[in-house]
Amino acid sequence: MNNHETRLTSAEMAGIWGQYINDTAAVCVLTYFLKKVKDDQTQTVLELALTSAMEHIEYLKGLFEQETFPIPIGFTEKDVDSDARPLFTDIFYLQYLKFMSVLGMSASSLAIGLASRSDSVAFHKKVLSESVHLQKAIKEVLLEKGLYIRPPYIPAPADVDFVTKQSFLGSVAGGKRPLTTIEISHLFFNIETNLIGRELMIGFSQVAKRKEVKNYLIRGKQIANKQISIFRNVLLDNDIPAAMTWDTTATESTDRTFSDKLIMFHVSAMAAAGVGNYGSAIAASPRKDIGLKYSRLLMEISLYAEDGGNIMIDHGWIEKPPQSPNRNQLAKG
């Protein structure tokens, strides 16, 4: 296939546009982290992530020019003050990268599935491969330092079995069967992601400039705390270990580290990830009481994301993605 004679599809535009925006944000954050990191192993992982992000940006700039596609603004050095005092610990850098690499793998997998041009497929395969490699490197460091938190262990099944009763689905109240490994996995992952989100919002709330952004972040921290408690209680009620903590509390720095625009972008991305995670968890959790909990929390986080979007719109912080022509407006001349 001759890519130069094949236009980008809407899905391919979405993939490269989103990747560019995300990578420019990543460069700001990782550059700052690298100036503050103390541990050599953590520094190596951060350098690996930063190199990948910068290479993506350079490739995409060339592709945008080739396709006569406006280069997005994204984020620049104006959105970060690398001279600000450390806001997070080295351990947090690792946990943050671990989470972001999961998001990168998910986005790349979707982009590969939707892309048809060979250059688009090749690019997103490269991004996916780098995310997998980064995830592996992070886990090796966490394991070596004794900081990697594994999902709960349960005994292996004695034999193969099939569902024969409607009671497997449970009810909103009472008659709850033991959790499946799939349900445990989603509960564990959603605790983990909320912990990362909570720590980000604690740190961000200390350095945000605008009062409305600070209040929004404090509200987000409270939501994360509540949802962590709900997921942990589900595990504990089913006699599944739910201990999970890191020494990653934000420092006491109040220096203006990141722009409010970059902070709100991060929080919006976390909220969007939460919506997707909860939707997947609902589909994978046949127990009615668990599905109901996820549905309620999904509504809460969706409303939170909407309020964040309104703040960003009010300040002109949302860069508009490529969109289809407004035919009705064009018809009016």
DSSP line for 107-153? HHHHHHHH--SHHHHHHHHHHHHHHHHHHHHHHHHHHHTT---PPPP
Q: What pLDDT sits at residue 173? A: 63
- Domains in the chain, ordered, with CATH? 9-144 (1.20.1260.10), 169-314 (1.20.1260.10)
pTM recorded for the entire structure:
0.92
CA distance 196 to 92: 8
Q: What are the 10-residue block averages of pLDDT along the chain, 333 residues in total?
A: 73 96 97 96 97 98 95 97 95 93 94 96 97 96 92 91 80 75 95 93 97 98 96 93 71 96 96 93 92 95 96 96 84 78
Q: What pLDDT sits at residue 163? A: 84
Residue 96: half-sphere exposure toward Cβ, Cα within 13 Å: 26
Q: What pLDDT sits at residue 246? A: 61
Sequence-separated (6 or more) residues with CB below 8 Å from residue 41: 141, 144, 145
